[in-house]
Amino acid sequence: MPDHIFYQLFESESSTYTYIIADSVTKEAAIIDPVIEMIDRDLKLVSELGLKLKYVLDTHVHADHITAAGEIRNRTGAKSALSKDAHVECVDIALSDGQELFLGAKKITALATPGHTNSCMSFLFENKVFTGDALLIRGNGRTDFQQGSSEKLYDSIQQKLFTLPEDVCVYPAHDYKGQTASSIQMEKKFNPRLGEGRSKAEFIQTMSQLKLADPKKIHEALPANMACGKVPVFRP
């Protein structure tokens, strides 16, 4: 029997992956990047597995969906956690680079990986790294809004993620081509923007030439996520 529990869930509108991880012995669990529309599905699975939700982790302040962190905290008592660099006052735990959280005897290590946003954190758990929008499968997060910096993102991936053991599995917050996982070895070898020794100058040039539309939900999602998923009520 494996000593930890792992589930990958998908939300199709924003192509977001949500992850549930837990210690098999204590059943203490964390959920990573939950989407508000899928809260009932996710909490049903937590209940079916007999897990005790200890943490709700967001990899960054999302621009394409509204987090379920605040509502999950209300329903379960789990503590919400997000990078201290997000400056979101309603979170329970403002994470620093290298900070450790525990599910029973199992350790989650927060790795600051800014560049897509200032608040990007990757989470290392067992032989898995949850990379949010920093490192994607054969790609990476955009850097053209929300404090984006191609220079910072290149350094985060090369110095923090690509220095992990090559057999570590990579689980991003999104995929738009039907892929579910990769590995550090595969991304170092096959990522067209970052692999095989691509220079920082090459990466910055590539990112500067992307012409991407804004996420559909950005004007709704950003203010809500700065309030832990609570949609502001506008009164005339």
Q: Report domain extents, the chain.
A: 4-212
List, for residues 105-164, the tens digit of each pLDDT value. 999 999 999 999 999 999 999 999 999 999 999 999 999 887 899 999 999 999 999 999
pLDDT above 60 (res 233) = no
Task: Please give the CATH superfamily to which domain 4-212 belongs.
Answer: Ribonuclease Z/Hydroxyacylglutathione hydrolase-like (3.60.15.10)
For residue 16, what are its two tokens?
Answer: 């977001």
Instruction: Give the start-end residues of each E strand in the chain.
Output: 4-11, 16-23, 28-32, 52-57, 79-83, 93-95, 100-103, 106-112, 121-125, 128-132, 135-136, 139-140, 169-172, 182-183
DSSP state of 60: S
As a whole number of angstroms, the distance between CA 146 and CA 94 comes to: 19
Residue with tokens 């927060």: 110
pLDDT above 70 (res 231) = no
What's the pLDDT band for 232 if we cut at 50, 70, 90? low
